[in-house]
Amino acid sequence: MNILETLSKEQLIELVHIFSKNMSALDGVWFQSVESKFGMDEAMYHDCNVWKRYSDSEGKRIKKFLKLSDRPGVEGLKQALAYRFNEFLNDTEIIIKDNTLIYRVNNCRVQTARSRKSMPFHPCLSAGLMEYTYFALAIDDRFICEPISCYPQVSDPTCACAWKFTLDTQK
């Protein structure tokens, strides 16, 4: 018998939160290791590559788990975003209007941790573009992802970052 089968619902929920924190810690630890040895530019280069590959894989697994159709559109993306490990760590909100989904991270665990450690903010715009673009494309290949606000290009100080996903219905 698998150990997971012996856990209560409350224990499973707690374990998901622990696993999510562990994933975030792993991401931060490897990034800070590269950053301290080779500098921010090198760390960001690898961060972009990692998030591109990971987000595509994560999106495909979540899409399969949720049994989403080939092109589930904005509602499918909304549903899938709720199952990302980061969703269990950050304070987020989703706004949908027609063929557009706005995803706002109101409080980001990574930036909060870096601030607490007196570290400069993570310049996550380029990695975030890889992360959100490839996750959305794994859910539905018609999405166009654009940053609205993300460090270091902050245009909305009321959130940590915000992303716009537009469904290209001409594809």
How many degrees, rounded to 5, is the angle at CA 24 between CA 19 and CA 29? Answer: 120
Tokens 């559109």 label which residue?
Answer: 73
Regarding pTM above 0.75, the answer is: yes
Residue 160, classed as helix, strand or coil, is coil
Structural domain count, the chain: 1
Residue 120 is given by DSSP the state: P
* Residue pLDDT, tens place only, 81-123: 999 988 988 999 999 999 999 999 999 988 888 889 998 888 9
Phi/psi for 90 (5° steps) reads -110, 155
Residue 111, in any domain of the structure: yes
Residue numbers of the domain that contains 19: 9-167
Tokens 């270091």 label which residue?
Answer: 152
* Residue pLDDT, tens place only, 46-79: 999 999 999 999 999 999 999 999 999 999 999 9
Residue 99, in any domain of the structure: yes
Residue 153, in any domain of the structure: yes
CATH of the domain at 122: 3.30.1380
DSSP 22-62: HHHHHHHHHHHHHHHHH-HHHHHHHHHHHHHHHHHHHHHHH
Residue 149, in any domain of the structure: yes
Residue 1, in any domain of the structure: no
